[in-house]
């Protein structure tokens, strides 16, 4: 039974109309009670199949059985509690409008017993839930319960520091979290590698320039041998460069040189010989 039905003396409640109720284990001439206590005789239809194509005939296949006088008197309609089958059938299916369900003292006592059992079970469950809730709260608040730690420990739950940060190990794979120290190290390594490559490129460029200059000097024509000799001399004596720079800074024009020569020179004429002293 799905649920108890309220009394419906005048067949006004749609919920009291039952469709396709199955009756099995039919023994001819033995009463078969309907599930919902009492039915209005005029609403009863009996079928041999669930598709309701084979209707049984009242008086030939079945009869109303066990009249309920109180229900009949209150509703002013014939009401019965059972059906008497005159033949053997594997199963039958019935439609009827129920007067309503009667609950016996025995059934009601069983219901009360079930209520007591349910209340006891509910009390036990409530106690278990309360206990679990308490343990869960303790588990959440107590970090040691799940071995959480601020340190980097394998296979453990990470605990944030007081400042809200998380500690981690250096990343091993591309999808691992990494540390700030590892990032700084990678940046520093990248800078060092870039500086080394820049120095290497600079040294190579200087080498190529020097090679070109040497090639130019070595391949100079004979008329420029003095240039090559000068370059070789300067290569051997770096102080020569300073001397040349000073000479260039103090260079004179031809007229200036003559004037300087005349101003500094001392002339002595002996017989036919002119002596010049600077």
Average predicted confidence (pLDDT) for the chain: 79
For residue 29, name the pLDDT band (cuts at 50, 70, 90). Answer: very high
Name the residue among 251, 252, 277 with its Cα closest to residue 266: 277
Q: Identify the pLDDT of residue 17.
A: 94
pLDDT in tens, 143-181: 554 667 767 777 667 777 777 787 777 777 877 777 778
Per-residue pLDDT tens over the stretch 80-96? 999 999 999 999 999 99
Tell me which of 59 and 191 has the higher pLDDT: 59
CB 96 within 8 A of CB 18: yes
Q: Where are the domains of the chain?
A: 14-102, 198-236, 237-277
Neighbours of 79 (CB within 10 A): 26
What the block records as the tokens of 270 is: 């002996």
pLDDT at position 205 is 77
Predicted confidence (pLDDT) per residue in 233-277, tens digit:
666 666 656 666 666 566 655 565 556 555 655 555 555 555 555
Confidence at residue 118, expressed as pLDDT on a 0 to 100 scale: 84
Predicted confidence band of residue 128 (pLDDT cuts 50, 70, 90): confident
pLDDT-based confidence at 123, cuts 50/70/90? Answer: confident
How confident is the model at residue 189, as a pLDDT? 86
Closest CA to 81 of 57, 63, 93, 61: 63
Q: What is the pLDDT of residue 50?
A: 93
């Amino acid at each position: 039974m799905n649920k108890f039905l309220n009394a419906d003396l005048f067949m006004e409640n749609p919920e009291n109309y039952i469709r396709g109720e199955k009756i099995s284990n039919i023994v001819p001439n033995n009463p078969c009670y309907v599930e919902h206590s009492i039915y209005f005789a005029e609403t009863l239809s009996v079928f041999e199949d669930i598709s309701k194509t084979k209707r049984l005939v009242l008086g030939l296949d079945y009869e109303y059985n066990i009249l309920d006088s109180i229900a009949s008197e209150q509703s002013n309609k014939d009401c019965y509690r059972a059906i008497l089958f005159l033949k053997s059938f594997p199963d039958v299916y019935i439609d009827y409008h129920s007067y309503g369900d009667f609950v016996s003292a025995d059934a009601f006592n069983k219901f009360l017993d079930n209520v007591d059992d349910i209340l006891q079970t509910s009390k036990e469950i409530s106690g278990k839930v309360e206990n679990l809730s308490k343990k869960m709260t303790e588990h959440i608040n107590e970090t040691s319960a799940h071995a959480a730690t601020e340190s980097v420990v394998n296979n453990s739950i990470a605990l944030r520091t007081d400042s809200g940060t998380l500690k981690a190990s250096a990343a091993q794979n591309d999808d691992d979290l990494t540390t700030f120290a590892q990032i700084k190290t990678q940046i520093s390594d990248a800078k060092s590698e870039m500086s080394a490559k820049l120095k290497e490129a600079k040294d190579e460029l200087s080498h190529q320039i020097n090679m070109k200059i040497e090639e130019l000097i070595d391949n100079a024509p004979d008329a420029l041998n003095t240039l090559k000799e000068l370059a070789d001399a300067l290569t051997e004596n770096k102080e020569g460069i300073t001397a040349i720079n000073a000479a260039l800074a103090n260079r004179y024009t031809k007229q200036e040189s003559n004037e300087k020569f005349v101003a500094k020179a001392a002339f002595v004429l002996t017989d036919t010989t002119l002596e010049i002293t600077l």
